[in-house]
Amino acid sequence: MASESWASSPATRKSMQGNRSRDTAPELALRRELHSRGMRYRVATAPLPGVRRRVDIEFPRAKVVVFVDGCFWHGCPEHHRLPKTHTDYWAGKVEGNAARDRQTTQLLEEAGWTVLRFWEHEPVAEVADVVERVVRELRADRTASG
């Protein structure tokens, strides 16, 4: 006997399975903006040995990682709305994602990384301003102290 799917219909299941875990439109927009500012970075890396967690953007020399969190999947307080069907499943799924996000941030910070998290709806230029400022400051600090 097959267990009930988390999806309310086969079409919903197919749509949700098509969601990307990397190279989302907000992530690509931020990467384009950072690149246009002369910033170079790594994409979809796992900076912690032995920990299966990927970051969206990594600046290894500055030890800065960036996440662009989707409003639905990560529970944005401003935009997240639970679906009308299978609400218990989705509430647990999103809370689990948020808990993993908090743990990932903690692990990275304990390993000496600066973690920057943004919501997908935040203006790209403003996010890029913050990322650029933090990365350039930390690179300068590391160069001066090293």
Query: What band does 134 get if pLDDT is binned at 50, 70 and 90?
Result: very high
Return the higher-pLDDT residue of 9 and 70. 70
Per residue in 17-29, pLDDT (tens digit) is 556 668 999 999 9
- C-alpha 112/C-alpha 134 separation (Å) is 14
**Helices 124-145, 25-36: crossing angle, 10 deg rounding:** 50
Give the amino acid at 8: S
Per residue in 34-55, pLDDT (tens digit) is 999 999 999 999 999 999 999 9
The pTM of the full predicted model, rounded to 2 decimals, is 0.85
How many CB atoms neighbour CB 46 within 10 A?
12
- The domains of the chain are located at 21-145
The CA angle 146-105-121, to the nearest 5 degrees, is 110
Query: What band does 72 get if pLDDT is binned at 50, 70 and 90?
Result: confident
Q: Say which CATH superfamily domain 21-145 falls into.
A: VSR Endonuclease (3.40.960.10)
